[in-house]
Amino acid sequence: MSINNWKISKDVKDLLNVRKAPLGVGGVTSIFTIMSALAQQNNAINLSQGFPDFHIDEQLAHLLGEAAHKGHNQYSPMPGLPALRQAIAGDIKKRYGVDVDADNEITVTPGATYAIYTAFTAILQQGDEVIVLEPAYDSYVPNIEMNGAKAVTIALQAPRFNPDWNKIKDAITSRTRAIIVNTPHNPTGAVWSKKDWDQLAEIIRDTNIIVLSDEVYEQIVFDGMKHYSVLQHPELRQRSFALYSFGKVYNNTGWKVGYTIAPPAYTQAVRRIHQFLVFSVNTPAQYALALNMANDTAPPVHTIMQKKRDHFLSLIKQTPFTIYEPARGSYFQLAGYSNISNLPDTEFAQWLTKEYGVATIPVSVLYKNKKDDRLIRFCFAKKEETLNEAANRLRRLKAIS
């Protein structure tokens, strides 16, 4: 019997309606699913969804196979393999000069999307408010709404997409439970300085607001700049969840392994949820990551991505797109298309995929109110030949601009 012919009782139907996830910013289906599918249907170059299209480091791939062959194939401990948590603590100490307790402050998660969801679920009650700076990664608002809370959105200020501190201050109410921050930023490539963190600290000093710091692109910062982690800010660190993804460090987004760093009480609250949601994370992947971190021989990801960003910027100059600000971090570059078209960005992105064979992300879907500044997002975390072929296609736009 096909699923369509199933007779679902009214009770079950009601239940399904009640349990239906809120629509959130991206509508029923995430923009990443939509654009990647459209790219495939049209044989387009996929510069939409953020994932590298090149091979991962050979040593890391080898370690994954070895872990499986050596028999590391059963559940790992609920908070994550001790060896991996210790490797993470060592890495944080080395890169940020900060001590993190591997046992009580680090939880390995199946990716950062999950880490964000579980952090929200650990702290939110019905009716709470969360401040979200937009444009924003598309899971934030639905995750807040799934917890019965309200997303209070504030637009970042183009062209550099810096925060409007007065607006943030004005948005704080007695119900504000949290603010979610993302640096380096998807989709704008903006990077926060210590000054930004100091401003935030000042604004929330006399409140109970908790910070979710999405730092998945922490290791992808360009032009000699440095990422400043919330963990380095002694005042904020005590009231923050810092969220990370190995996918962005080792170019293996499909492994879906990340981690949360938070003070012990926050960590306990997250683990209470984590133990009943997934219990533990892919064991061979954790082994491979831990061993690799002990002796990492690959070039750092910022070196790889800086070359790609520079190459992409030189290519895009040969097209009618406008770059207002080069990305300072992440693997995304925003571009304006006013020289080409005045279509709304969602229509423009579809048209570009179908007619010119290059898929991108329309930025308006990353705003709750669908603010359309006629910008699209390119992912440049791709092989040189992929970027070259995309540019060949985009250069043809000159003829119509």
The long-range contacts involving 139-146, CB below 8 angstroms and separated by at least 24 positions, are 139/24, 139/113, 140/116, 140/180, 141/24, 141/25, 141/368, 142/21, 142/22, 142/23, 142/24, 142/25, 142/26, 143/116, 143/117, 144/120, 145/22, 145/24, 146/21, 146/22, 146/117, 146/121
Residue 335: closest CA among 370, 360, 314: 360
CA distance 12 to 7: 10
CA pair distance 315, 311, nearest whole angstrom: 6
Q: Give the separation between CA 330 and CA 221, rounded to whole angstroms.
A: 7
Check residue 319 for interaction with ligand PMP (CB under 6 A). no
Bridge partner residues of 361 (DSSP): 377
Backbone torsion region of residue 109, taken as left when φ is above 0, otherwise alpha when ψ lies between -120 and 50, otherwise beta = beta
By the rule CB under 6 A, 335 interacts with ligand PMP: no
Closest CB to ligand GLN: residue number: 50
Verify binding: residue 252, ligand PMP, rule CB under 6 A: no
Instruction: For ligand PMP, give the closer residue by CB, 51 or 356.
Output: 51
Query: According to CB under 6 A, which one of 107, 118, 182, 183 is a site residue for ligand PMP?
Result: 182
To ligand GLN, the closest distance from the beta carbon of 329 in angstroms equals 14
CB of 260 to ligand PMP, least distance (A): 11
Query: How buried is 246 (Cβ within 10 angstroms: 0-12 exposed, 13-18 middle, 19+ buried)?
Result: buried
Nearest to 356 by CA among 373, 372, 376: 376
Q: Which is nearer to ligand PMP, 129 or 214 (CB)?
A: 214
Please report how close the Cβ of residue 49 comes to ligand PMP at its closest, in angstroms. 9
Nearer CB in complex with ligand PMP: 366/397? 366
Interaction pattern, residues 43-82, with ligand PMP; x per rule: CB under 6 A: -------x--------------------------------
**Burial, 206: exposed, middle or buried (Cβ in 10 Å; 0-12, 13-18, 19+)?**
exposed
386 binds ligand PMP (CB under 6 A): no
Return d(Cα 305, Cα 225) in angstroms, integer. 14
Among 135, 163, 247, 357, binds ligand PMP (CB under 6 A): 247
Q: Could you tell me the smallest distance in angstroms from the CB atom of residue 88 to ligand PMP?
A: 14
Three-state DSSP class for residue 147: coil
| Minimum distance of ligand GLN from residue 358's CB (angstroms) | 15
The 211-240 site mask, x for binding ligand PMP (CB under 6 A), equals ---x-x------------------------
Which residue bears the tokens 């009214």?
10
Q: Which is nearer to ligand PMP, 76 or 213 (CB)?
A: 213
The residue (of 52 and 79) whose beta carbon lies closer to ligand GLN is 52
Residue type, 226: K
Chosen from ligand GLN, ligand PMP, none, partner binding at 245 (C-beta under 5 to 8 Å by type) = ligand PMP
Binding partner of residue 258 among ligand GLN, ligand PMP, none, CB cut-off 5 to 8 Å per kind: ligand PMP
Is there binding between residue 258 and ligand PMP (CB under 6 A)?
A: yes
Is 184 one of the binding residues for ligand PMP (CB under 6 A)?
no
Q: Can you tell me the distance from the alpha carbon of 401 to that of 398, in angstroms, rounded to the nearest whole number? A: 5
Q: Which residues bind ligand GLN (CB under 6 A)?
A: 30, 32, 49-50, 186
Closest to ligand GLN by CB, 30 vs 199, is 30
Instruction: Identify the CA nearest to 355 among candidates 367, 369, 343.
Output: 343
DSSP string, 334-359: EEE-TTT--S-HHHHHHHHHHHHSEE
Minimum Å gap between C-beta 27 and ligand GLN is 14
Of 50 and 142, which has the nearer Cβ to ligand PMP? 50
For residue 397, the one-letter residue type is L
Q: Based on CB atoms, which residue is closest to ligand GLN, 79 or 187? A: 187
Q: Packing angle between helix 283-294 and helix 82-96, nearest 10 degrees?
A: 40
Under the criterion CB under 6 A, does residue 281 sit at the interface with ligand PMP? no
Quote the least distance from Cβ 379 to ligand PMP, whole Å.
10
Report which of 158, 156, 153 is spatially closest to residue 179, judged by C-alpha positions.
153
49 binds, among ligand GLN, ligand PMP, none (CB under 5 to 8 A by kind): ligand GLN
Which residues would be at the binding site for ligand PMP (CB under 6 A)?
Answer: 50, 111-113, 137, 182, 186, 214, 216, 245, 247, 253, 258
